Amino acid sequence: MKPNEPSRTALVVARQRAAHQVPDRGSILYDPFATKILREDKKEVLQFAKQHPLASIGRLFTAARSRIAEDAFSSAFEKGNRQIVILGAGLDTFALRHPHGAPGIRIYEVDHAATQAWKLERLAEAQIAVPPWLVFVPVDFERDDVGEKLAAAGFQQNSPAFFTWLGVVPYLTPEAIGGTLDYMSSIPNSEVVFDYAEPPEALSGELRQIETERMKQLEKIDERLVSRFEPAAIAAILRAHGFCAVEDIDFQAIASRFGGAVQGVATGQTGLHVVHAKH
């Protein structure tokens, strides 16, 4: 992505989350802030939701991966975890609607400075106040030390933490991915939920064509996909970085669990996965 511009993929994800609130009525992930923060009317959101037959897959996966992450954090919260780090937060709204009212909770949103400035503008325009438990941490994932930036923002490195890392891993180099996993595993009782994509060969015909076109478009806006993995490779990487409890949820399992909640959801092998790992 361009250094002084907000992430365009973050905008696409925000539109998918908002679109899930309109035809699907937020049935997987109810988010009353999704359209407010986007600053687009429902007609525009609905048009985005129906722009092509396979757009429903994006709505399903975006909503489901957030639901899986938030459900996992709820379980961690019940065990005493009071820190959540949202890596690549974009226009994420969890901090605005989280149901955990316990004192001492801190939600750290980590993203590029330009994307965070854009989000703050959206919040101000929508007259949505920044809650006191939300801390913004500007980071360049390829150049900065995430741990140093978080510590400077008040993150307690000796206390348990839950990390969400959604829509980020495919855009990072293996070195950046490994460095981030090393940091997460240095935190006691850490957990992470992230998503990844298999190589294009794993996709079914029509989806492979769409993915090839998407990759070309991402390269034009400097947000190219860098890393793809086979499931066995992801499991090996996580074990090498000290994560022992790994749940890998493929798209078929996601569609089986949540697909009925998305209007007109398309079928096909997408090669998309959501992983929940514990250290």
CATH number of the domain bearing residue 75: 3.40.50.150
Summarize the confidence of residues 134-158 as an average pLDDT.
Answer: 94
Q: What is the mean pLDDT of the chain?
A: 88
Q: What is the pLDDT of residue 207?
A: 62
- 120 falls within a domain: yes
Residues 40, 225: Cα–Cα separation, whole Å:
27
pLDDT at position 226, please? 82
Higher-pLDDT residue of 50 and 16 is 16
pLDDT band for position 41 (cuts 50, 70, 90): confident
Could you tell me if residue 100 is inside a domain? yes
The residue with greater pLDDT, 98 or 130, is 130
HEC readout, the chain:
CCCCCCCHHHHHHHHHHHHHHCCCCCCCCCCCCHHHHHCCCHHHHHHHHCCCCCHHHHHHHHHHHHHHHHHHHHHHHHCCCCEEEEECCCCCCHHHHCCCCCCCCEEEEEECHHHHHHHHHHHHHCCCCCCCCEEEEECCCCCCCHHHHHHHCCCCCCCCCEEEECCCHHHCCHHHHHHHHHHHHCCCCCEEEEEEECCHHHCCHHHHHHHHHHHHHHHHCCCCCCCCCCHHHHHHHHHHCCCCEEEEEEHHHHHHHHHHHCCCCCCCCCCEEEEEEEC
State the pLDDT at residue 22: 87
Task: Determine the structural domain holding residue 269 and report its residue range.
Answer: 8-278
Is the pLDDT confidence value at 169 over 90?
Answer: yes
Q: Is the pTM of this model over 0.85?
A: yes
Tell me, yes or no, whether 2 lies in a domain. no
CB-based contacts of 60, cutoff 8 Å, min separation 6: 28, 254, 255, 258, 259, 262, 265
Percentage of residues in the chain with pLDDT exceeding 90?
62
Position 263 confidence tier, pLDDT thresholds 50, 70, 90: confident
Is 76 inside any structural domain? Answer: yes
User: What tens digit of pLDDT does each residue of 72-99 get?
Assistant: 999 999 999 999 999 999 999 999 998 7
Binned at pLDDT 50, 70 and 90, residue 8 comes out as confident
Instruction: For the chain, give the percent of residues with pLDDT over 70.
Output: 87
Our count of domains for the chain comes to 1
Q: For residue 265, name the pLDDT band (cuts at 50, 70, 90).
A: confident
Q: Using 50, 70 and 90 to split pLDDT, how confident is the model at 58?
A: confident
Q: What end-to-end distance do the CA atoms of the chain give, in Å?
A: 31
Domain-embedded: residue 48: yes
Q: How confident is the model at residue 51 (pLDDT cuts 50, 70, 90)?
A: confident
Mean pLDDT over 56-77 rounds to 94
Q: What integer pLDDT is reported at residue 164 of this predicted model?
A: 98
- Does a structural domain hold residue 1? no
User: Does residue 35 lie within any of the structural domains?
Assistant: yes
The answer on pLDDT for 39 being more than 90 is no
In a domain, 3, yes or no: no
| pLDDT tens-digit readout, 180-239 | 999 999 999 999 999 998 887 766 666 666 666 655 565 655 657 789 999 999 999 999
